[in-house]
Amino acid sequence: MRHFVIVGILVLVTAVLTYVGLDVAGVATQMNPIEASAQSIPIDWLWNWEIMAICFLFALIIVPMAYSMLVFRRKQGDTTDAEHIEGNTTLEITWTVIPLFAVLALAYMGAYSLGETRRIDPNAMIIKVKGQQFVWTFEYPDTGIISTELHLPVDQQVLLKMESADVIHSFWVPEFRVKQDVVPGRVTEYRITPILVGSYKVRCAELCGASHAYMESPVIVDTRADYNSWIAEQVAIVAASQTPEGLGKLLTVKNGCIGCHSVDGTKMTGPTWFGLFGTKVDLADGSTVTADDAYVTESILDPKAKLVTGFAPVMPPFKLTDIEIANIIAYLKTLK
Ligand code: CUA
């Protein structure tokens, strides 16, 4: 009995010390990014309980093992066998029933946390999300605004309806905790209630191609007033852009072109558009071509026809109308 009391106390002490140690090391709670959504709270609550359970189980295994090795070590010169035990019904029932209830408790906690994470607000605002190699675009309700930035009003549940144009991507904002795949051919949903004003980032969490690592976009949680003025600003920009150049620029956002092509000379997955139009382009086969209307049109409709030297053939063809292509060309001509 004395051994049981000692081991019991040592198990509790070790469990607490393990948890405190993990907490100081940042594993238990501080390792997680800040909680910026209502959904992150039940998730972190469950995480913390699981860490505590793990610490206890760790101590429950390690302490009796170490105690036995030290205290019940064979004395020098003792060559007798250990005591033979033929089973113990009480012990077997105990170590079946206790884990049974432990598993049931964990199942209940998991279900509770999942329910809280998925709790539906009937007034949720719907924003459409498109994932494609290698850019996110967001379409806002009512106004039809399309942006590469996700702006969300604080304390308002949003339902993201997400589609992929090509391969599987995964929508992940670490501060929101919830993660959801974006799968071609179906609409997946992501429900979140931001609770903390700030700037975050959505990262693609599914390996989706050569520039997967760069597939990230700003996520900005605004006060309601800031959100409304941002929307008003975007509406004004759209209204002011009803020229061929303006419409062309909107098309490059809507189609995700700017995920791979910079407009300021920065090197990205695809050639920059800055100062491109009218210049000579070196092709992978050693020849050169002038970046004129015919070349740009062909590069949109059939990107692999003329490969620019130094770039991988990763651009998919885009089915755009003649007018859309003319607008994009008008926009490209302004980039110099
Ligand atoms: Cu999209 Cu990784």
| Residue 259 beta carbon below 6 angstroms from any ligand 1 atom | no
| Residue 182 beta carbon below 6 angstroms from any ligand 1 atom | no
Q: How far apart are CA 232 and CA 199, in angstroms?
A: 20
| Residue 169 beta carbon below 6 angstroms from any ligand 1 atom | yes
| Residue 135 beta carbon below 6 angstroms from any ligand 1 atom | no
- Taking only the tens place, the pLDDT of each residue in 263-319 is 888 888 888 999 888 888 888 888 889 889 889 889 899 988 888 988 888 888 888
| Residue 130 beta carbon below 6 angstroms from any ligand 1 atom | no
Tell me the CATH class for 244-332.
mainly alpha
**Token pair listed for 192:** 């979140």
| Residue 204 beta carbon below 6 angstroms from any ligand 1 atom | yes
AA letter at 155: D
- Taking only the tens place, the pLDDT of each residue in 201-232 is 999 999 998 889 989 999 999 999 999 999 88
Nearest to 261 by CA among 199, 206, 331, 194: 331
| Residue 164 beta carbon below 6 angstroms from any ligand 1 atom | no
What CATH number has the domain spanning 125-240? 2.60.40.420
- Confirm if 250 and 239 have CB atoms less than 8 A apart: no
Which atom of ligand 1 lies at the shortest distance from residue 209's CA? 2
| Residue 208 beta carbon below 6 angstroms from any ligand 1 atom | yes
Matching residue, tokens 């409709």: 301
- Give the HSE-up count for residue 35: Cα atoms under 13 Å, Cβ half-sphere: 11
Name the residue ranges covered by the structural domains of the chain.
1-68+112-119, 125-240, 244-332
Report angle CA 39, 41, 42 to the nearest 5 degrees. 80
- Taking only the tens place, the pLDDT of each residue in 155-165 is 999 999 999 99
Which atom of ligand 1 lies at the shortest distance from residue 133's CA? 1
Within 241-272, where are the H helices? 244-254
Report angle CA 110, 113, 114 to the nearest 5 degrees. 85
Which atom of ligand 1 lies at the shortest distance from residue 131's CA? 1
Which atom of ligand 1 lies at the shortest distance from residue 208's CA? 2
pLDDT tens for the chain, 336 residues: list them: 889 999 999 999 999 999 988 887 766 666 778 899 999 999 999 988 888 999 999 999 999 999 999 998 888 888 888 888 888 999 999 999 999 998 999 999 999 999 999 999 998 999 999 999 889 999 988 887 888 899 999 999 999 999 999 999 999 999 999 999 999 999 999 999 999 999 999 999 999 988 899 899 999 999 999 999 998 888 888 777 778 888 888 888 878 888 888 888 888 888 899 988 888 888 888 888 988 988 988 989 998 888 898 888 888 888 888 888 888 888 888 888
Matching residue, tokens 């609409």: 187
